[in-house]
């Protein structure tokens, strides 16, 4: 395997498999998730493999599915439940790499980096998904996204397929062109019209000819057919920062008071980082003076953290360096460059004592509210207008 190890995970009959797991009476039965067949309108979201034997498919009108499989078990889509399971599966991925790109509720690419036993790790992920969620996944292993996705689809359900560089000609070239991700019915028809039926034909096609017919898309498809795909796995970064700021009731230059406020802000940001399962790599301090002049200053951390004390010390250093001593109207802290918390095990940082302390405080706060427990220093902070921010 080349230096890059990419896997594509695709859950088998995802919505239907969850319903079969949760109701043993449905195991081994044709289960169809989607619109209500009594209503006659709407489509199939997915069907269990047992229902697929009757020809039922995703996106098919529900009335047609009913005609094909009248004894099937028709269930509505329970989106909230499927989202929760999707998150549990993602949490498993993050134990192995922060480079996880979800592309649907039941599908994701993982970049496992180089120099790893990718087959061993991919198998372990497949087993963990099954043992922890009771659901089966198909996994494709390769050195780029295109081939990994192709591989996961190879032997569904419970598939496990590896495509190495040397396999492309023998395994991939005989496949029909529409197996290429991005070749829809229209492009397929165009290619067929020119006699290009397989991925191999496409790979051997003259680049100029393809370009003249399909433009840049033609060149992209030709490269994919050759097994070349440089697209990176893009880590999910829907939340980019978690912040909290406070506008004082009266502008202040009381240094000790500002430090205490900073501690309160740090505790808030740390608590929310931990609650959402993040570590941060950067702390930003925001200062606004009486004239509304606002500055922001960043500090990168040596180790990613979600510990209040580390956030506080960093913000305090930024304050000391960047505050002229003038009265302030607003003080804010924001944590960015977020990573999943599971990455902590992969760093050398291991401040168990601090982690255990904040986790103990967190559990009190999650039961009785954030204000239920306070440091002695923080008790003197007067109430003020505060804004929490989560920026994506
Ligand atoms: P898919 O991965 O396409 O399908 P699947 O997981 O049900 O089956 P398999 O991968 O084993 O072939 O889609 C994932 C989920 O997305 C699926 O369970 C239901 C939903 N979905 C729809 O709601 N409508 C659709 O048209 C498709 C294709 C999927
Ligand atoms: Mg699937």
What is the set of active-site residues? 107
pLDDT digits (tens, 9 = 90+) for 97-155: 878 999 999 999 999 987 779 999 999 999 999 999 999 999 999 999 999 999 999 99
257: Cα separation from own chain's centroid: 40
Choosing from 11, 32, 46 the residue with most ligand 1 atoms within 8 A of its CB, the one to mutate for a pocket test is: 46
pLDDT band of 360, cuts 50, 70, 90 = confident
Which range, of 2-6, 13-17, 52-56, 299-303, averages the lowest pLDDT? 2-6
pLDDT band of 349, cuts 50, 70, 90 = very low
The ligand 1 site (C-beta within 6 Å) comprises: 10-15, 45-46, 58-59, 104, 106-107, 156-157
374: Cα separation from own chain's centroid: 34
Rounded to the nearest angstrom, the distance between the alpha carbon of 170 and the centre of ligand 2 is: 26
Average pLDDT over residues 322-350: 79
Average pLDDT over residues 19-35: 97
- Average pLDDT score over the chain: 90
Cα 181 to Cα 238: distance, rounded to the nearest angstrom: 24
Average pLDDT over residues 30-39: 95
Contacts 24+ apart (CB under 8 A), 178-184: 179/150, 180/146, 180/221, 180/224, 180/225, 181/146, 181/149, 181/150, 181/224, 182/217, 182/220, 182/221, 182/224, 183/221
Is residue 48's pLDDT more than 90? yes
pLDDT band of 346, cuts 50, 70, 90 = very low
Which range, of 53-67, 126-140, 341-355, 358-372, averages the lowest pLDDT? 341-355
Run of H or E residues at 31: strand 31-34
pLDDT at res. 165: 95
Q: pTM for the complete prediction?
A: 0.67
């Amino acid at each position: 395997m080349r230096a890059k190890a990419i896997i594509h995970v695709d859950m088998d009959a995802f919505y239907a498999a969850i319903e079969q797991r949760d109701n043993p009476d449905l195991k081994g039965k044709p289960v169809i998730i989607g619109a209500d067949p009594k209503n006659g309108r709407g489509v199939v979201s997915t069907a269990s493999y047992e229902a697929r034997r009757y020809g039922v498919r995703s996106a098919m009108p529900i009335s047609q599915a009913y005609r094909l499989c009248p004894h099937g078990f028709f269930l509505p889509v329970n989106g909230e439940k499927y989202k929760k399971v999707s998150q549990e599966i993602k949490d498993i991925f993050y134990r192995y790499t922060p480079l996880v790109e979800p592309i649907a509720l039941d599908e994701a690419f993982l970049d496992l980096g180089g120099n790893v036993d990718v087959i061993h790790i991919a198998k372990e992920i497949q087993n963990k998904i099954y043992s922890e969620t009771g659901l089966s996944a198909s996994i494709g292993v390769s050195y780029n996204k295109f081939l990994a996705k192709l591989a996961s689809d190879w032997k569904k359900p419970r598939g496990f397929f590896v495509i190495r560089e040397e396999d492309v000609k023998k395994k991939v070239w005989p496949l029909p062109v529409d197996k290429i991700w991005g070749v829809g019915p229209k492009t397929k028809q165009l290619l067929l019209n020119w006699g290009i039926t397989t991925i191999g034909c496409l790979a051997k096609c003259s680049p100029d000819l393809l370009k003249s017919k399909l433009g840049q898309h033609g060149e992209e498809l030709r490269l994919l057919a050759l097994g070349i795909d440089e697209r990176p796995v893009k880590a999910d970064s829907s939340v980019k920062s978690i912040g909290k700021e406070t506008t004082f009731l009266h502008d202040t230059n009381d240094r000790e008071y500002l430090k205490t406020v900073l501690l309160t802000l740090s505790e808030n940001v740390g608590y929310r980082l931990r609650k959402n399962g993040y570590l941060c790599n950067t702390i930003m301090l925001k200062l606004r003076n009486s004239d509304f002049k606002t500055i922001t200053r960043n500090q990168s951390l040596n180790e990613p953290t979600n510990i209040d004390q580390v956030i506080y010390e960093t913000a305090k250093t930024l304050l000391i360096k960047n505050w002229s001593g003038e009265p302030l109207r607003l003080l804010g802290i924001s944590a960015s460059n977020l990573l999943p918390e599971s990455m902590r095990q992969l760093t050398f940082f291991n401040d168990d004592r601090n982690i255990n302390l904040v986790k103990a405080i967190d559990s009190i706060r999650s039961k009785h509210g954030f204000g239920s427990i306070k440091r002695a220093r923080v008790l003197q902070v007067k109430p003020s207008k505060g804004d929490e921010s989560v920026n994506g």
